[in-house]
Amino acid sequence: MMEGIIVQGRGGLYTARDQAGQEYVLRAKKKFRRQGTSPLVGDRITFTPGGISDEHGWVEEIHPRVSQCLRPPVANVTLLCIIVSPQPAPDWLLVDKLLIFARKQNLRPLLIVNKTDLDDQGQTARQAKSAYAGAEMEVFSVSAEKREGLDAIRARLRGETCCFSGQSGVGKSTLLNALFGLSQETGDISRKILRGKNTTRHAQLFSFDDVQVIDTPGFSLLEIDEVFDPVLLREYYPEFAEYEGMCRFSPCYHGSEPGCAVLRAVQEGKIAQDRVERYHVLLADCRQRWRERYD
């Protein structure tokens, strides 16, 4: 039996890497399915390598996970790096959803605004900083292409297992290439619709002395399909914390209730308005799913 880390998984075949850097192709034993689980990129495992004539070996055990992320599906990540860019234009609602997932799954989030060379007067970076100032999320700016701002990010990632996540075409793979001297495939964005072309197809983990990074396929749609009591949604917004308990109604959803301390703080410019507008979109969505939960 050997120990390793899963660096890639596709079509039921997993690639594991051992301490020496040797790679092995494996399948998961049936017991994992019975346990309602399956290996994820980032998992530490015990495995038996295949013999010379075998097509693959077997994943025997999955070691306890520090964290588990479903979107994207990866294990043991400590830092979820959300990448946005001026082109394709940022989908901030998607960023908010990723931020909620990160908090639910105990990952620290970090926002990276890439392609600052295309950012008209720094507008995207400014939007990011003002929207997330109270959200306990660090914001970095970088141009992977012009190689500006790389050192600060490299320093921040040290010691972490980082998962790069975000829309297709924002430059996740290009940025990882620039940061760590990798040579992953990158793709143009479509001129017509200014959208990425889903160049990266599978999550893949890269290990270095002091950092591990996972590149993941970009997406354009992200649903929060879990059903939970909408009153819990506000707990994922650190900017509300100091106003909790100060609203006229209890519980208050900070939706449109009179005497709401959060809404007052928004009016007074103490909480970013666009972030709360998007919270209201997610709240309506969450309420609807909660109402329909027995249908």
Ligand X SMILES: Nc1nc2c(ncn2[C@@H]2O[C@H](COP(=O)(O)OP(=O)(O)OP(=O)(O)O)[C@@H](O)[C@H]2O)c(=O)[nH]1
Task: Classify 33 as helix, strand or coil.
Answer: helix
In angstroms, the Cα distances linking 293 to 225, 283, 285 are 11, 15, 12
What is the biggest distance separating any 2 CA atoms in the chain, rounded to whole angstroms?
72
State yes or no: residue 172 binds ligand X (CB under 6 A).
Answer: yes
Give min distance, CB of 116 to Mg ion, in A.
19
State yes or no: residue 262 binds Zn ion (CB under 5 A).
Answer: yes
Give min distance, CB of 218 to ligand X, in A.
2
Whole-angstrom Cα distance, residue 243 to residue 6? 43
Instruction: Give the long-range contacts of residues 7-13, CB within 8 A, separation 24 or more.
Output: 7/41, 7/204, 7/205, 7/206, 7/207, 8/41, 8/202, 8/203, 8/204, 8/205, 9/39, 9/40, 9/41, 9/202, 9/203, 10/202, 13/56
Q: Which of residues 85-104 bind ligand X (CB under 6 A)?
A: none
State yes or no: residue 171 binds ligand X (CB under 6 A).
Answer: yes
**How many beta carbons lie within 10 A of that of residue 105, not counting itself?**
14
Nearer of residues 4 and 218 to ligand X, judged by Cβ = 218
Whole-angstrom Cα distance, residue 47 to residue 19? 13
Interface with ligand X (CB under 6 A), residue from 118, 227, 241, 284: 118
Give min distance, CB of 249 to Zn ion, in A.
7
Interface with ligand X (CB under 6 A), residue from 18, 60, 61, 145: 145
Span near ligand X by CB under 6 A; candidates 40-48, 50-58, 187-195, 283-291 = 187-195
Beta bridge partners of 79: 108, 162
Span near ligand X by CB under 6 A; candidates 56-64, 95-103, 119-127, 183-191 = 183-191
Interface with Zn ion (CB under 5 A), residue from 97, 103, 254, 275: 254
State yes or no: residue 199 binds ligand X (CB under 6 A).
Answer: yes
Interface with ligand X (CB under 6 A), residue from 4, 9, 42, 218: 218
Closest to 119 measured CA to CA, from 136, 141, 100, 98: 141
Angle between helices 123-131 and 273-291 (to 10 degrees): 60
Nearer of residues 118 and 232 to Mg ion, judged by Cβ = 118
Interface with Mg ion (CB under 5 A), residue from 87, 127, 143, 200: 200
Residues of the shown chain interacting with ligand X in the complex, contacts defined by CB under 6 A: 114-115, 117-118, 143-145, 168-174, 186-189, 196-200, 217-218
Residues of the shown chain interacting with Zn ion in the complex, contacts defined by CB under 5 A: 247, 252, 254, 260, 262
Residues of the shown chain interacting with Mg ion in the complex, contacts defined by CB under 5 A: 172-173, 199-200
